[in-house]
A = this chain, B = another copy of it.
């Protein structure tokens, strides 16, 4: 249902984000950071009491007991929400997305997009059948340095891509914290809520997405060795993979949630026939460019020489660190701009991860698990 969004902040609703949630608050901050949207409604917990309390803590105008109720009610209001944020555990992404899409409400959804490949395919069809914005929170693509990296690859600064090393390693599941009350750990290690993969689905997909986003190359096959190091855990907590890329390039992807001493280390190195690139999420404002035979160059967020796209996603002068929230907010900035364009009848410009990226992520997860189950053998990703 199209609303006039000119001259006001957009109105957002949120599903999930209640007690024990980490990502809910991230979405709120990211959605509101540019002053282009306010979260004003929510179905923040399955427990109505908790939902109410969470909504009050955020000063929301409207709290709902269920997402179905919220979707229907908001769609009918004159001042209903313009878009919904889905910040639930994985298994709820699909039904919630479907409910709001069917009401014509734009969606910003967490990754991985769904539990199964089939659900992902259904969402793709649903989104394609509508005039609607669907953005997926592969938030790491929101960093200005990542955009710069992508542009440098596109412009041929690296030559032909030959080798990619991407990793996403953490340590927060090094012990069986899912058995001692950690809510984040509970659902992420539970196949019924998280899907067929644990670590691979939770963070491996970010690594795969980042690789394809920057290089513009598809992973065509992979050989994945998934492990569960913590006894009694139902899903993988570590994985190593060999990759082959569509252009003949090779790669390695490693992800872990049991790598002692690692916080949230998403890093990528890309080597071409002319130059290399290196980026570390934990120091996200620095991008190393490594032209063969010349001094390495240090690209920094919002320096004048950065690409227009990269600068457009920077908010502060160089040297004023922009971090995780700001990158996440860039996904919102781009999606909200398209929501405004859509409402004005202008051509969309995209730039944020879409339902297609969500489908791609599910393909990756399913194939990685399949490879590992067959003894870490090669499987095709197409």
Q: Are A271 and B256 touching (Cβ within 8 A)? A: yes
Q: Are A238 and B162 touching (Cβ within 8 A)? A: yes
Q: Cβ of A123 < 8 Å from any Cβ of B? A: no
Q: Are B250 and A252 touching (Cβ within 8 A)? A: no
Q: Cβ of A77 < 8 Å from any Cβ of B? A: no
Known contacts: A242-B225, A250-B227, A297-B296. The answer to whether A325 contacts B324 by CB under 8 A is no
Q: Which residues in B have their C-beta under 8 angstroms from that of A240?
A: 163, 242, 250-252
- A153 vs B251: C-alpha distance when bound (angstroms): 29
Q: Which residues in B have their C-beta under 8 angstroms from that of A318?
A: 263-264
Q: Cβ of A95 < 8 Å from any Cβ of B? A: no
Known contacts: A163-B259, A298-B296, A375-B378. The answer to whether A282 contacts B35 by CB under 8 A is no
Interface residues in A, total, Cβ within 8 A = 95
Q: Are A321 and B319 touching (Cβ within 8 A)? A: no
Known contacts: A240-B242, A260-B292, A261-B290. The answer to whether A376 contacts B322 by CB under 8 A is no
List residues 287-320 of chain A with CB under 8 A from any CB of chain B. 288-300, 303-305, 315-320
Of the stretches A84-92, A126-134, A170-178, the one at the interface is: A170-178
- A223 vs B29: C-alpha distance when bound (angstroms): 44
Q: Closest residue of chain B to A36, judged by CB?
A: B59
Q: Are A264 and B319 touching (Cβ within 8 A)? A: yes
Residue of A244, A275, A323 most packed against chain B (CB within 10 A):
A323
List residues 203-254 of chain A with CB under 8 A from any CB of chain B. 223, 225, 227, 229, 238, 240-242, 244, 250-252, 254
Of the stretches A20-28, A102-110, A187-195, the one at the interface is: A20-28
A interface residues, Cβ below 8 angstroms from B: 7-9, 22, 25-26, 28-29, 32-35, 38-39, 56, 58-59, 158-159, 162-163, 165, 167, 169-172, 174-175, 223, 225, 227, 229, 238, 240-242, 244, 250-252, 254, 256, 258-265, 269, 271-276, 281-285, 288-300, 303-305, 315-326, 375-378
